[in-house]
Chain A
Amino acid sequence: MRRMWFGFFRRKKKREKSRETACKRLESILERRRSVAVTEIVSKAEFEENSEKIRQRIVTWVSDAFEVGKERVKVEFEEHNGYIVIITNVLFE
Chain B
Amino acid sequence: MAKVFVVTSGKGGVGKTTITANLGCTLAKFGEKVCVIDADIGLKNLDVVLGLENRVVYTLLDVVNGRVNAHEALVRHKQLRNLYLLAASQIATKEMISPEDMKAIVKELYPKFDYVLIDSPAGIERGFRNAVASADSVLIVTTPEVPAISDADRVIGLLENFGFAEKSMKVVLNRFKVKMVKAGDMLTREDVQSTLALEIIGVVPDSEDVIIATNKGLPVVLNGSVDVSKVFENIARRLKGEEVSIDEDLFRSSKTGIMALIKKLLGKKRG
Which residues on A are within 8 Å of B, measured CB to CB?
Answer: 17-20, 22-23, 25-26, 29-30, 33, 35-36, 38-39, 41, 81-83
Contacts and interface: CB of A to CB of B under 8 A. Distances in A.
Nearest to A40: B161
Interface of B: 95, 99, 125-126, 129, 145-146, 149-150, 153-154, 157-158, 161-163, 181, 183-188, 191, 195
Contact of B126 (A18, A19, A82): A82
B150 A30 contact: yes
A35 B154 CA distance: 9
A39 B149 CA distance: 23
A44 B172 CA distance: 33
Contact of A25 (B129, B146, B158): B146
A36 B156 CA distance: 11
B125 A19 contact: no
Contacts, number: 52
Contacts of B184: 17-20
16 contacts: A17-B183, A17-B184, A19-B181, A19-B184, A19-B186, A19-B188, A20-B184, A22-B186, A23-B187, A23-B191, A26-B150, A26-B191, A29-B146, A29-B150, A36-B157, A38-B161
B110 to A, nearest CB: 23
Contacts of B153: 30, 33
A19 B146 contact: no
Contact of B125 (A35, A36, A38, A82): A82
A28 B129 CA distance: 28
B106 to A, nearest CB: 18
Given A19-B187, A19-B191, A41-B161, 20 more contacts: A17-B183, A19-B181, A19-B185, A19-B186, A20-B184, A22-B145, A22-B146, A26-B150, A26-B187, A29-B146, A29-B150, A30-B150, A33-B153, A33-B154, A36-B157, A36-B158, A81-B125, A81-B126, A82-B126, A83-B125
Q: What are the 7 closest A-B residue pairs judged by CB atoms, nearest first?
A: A17-B184, A81-B125, A82-B126, A18-B185, A38-B161, A36-B157, A19-B184
Contacts of A18: 184-186
Contacts of B181: 19
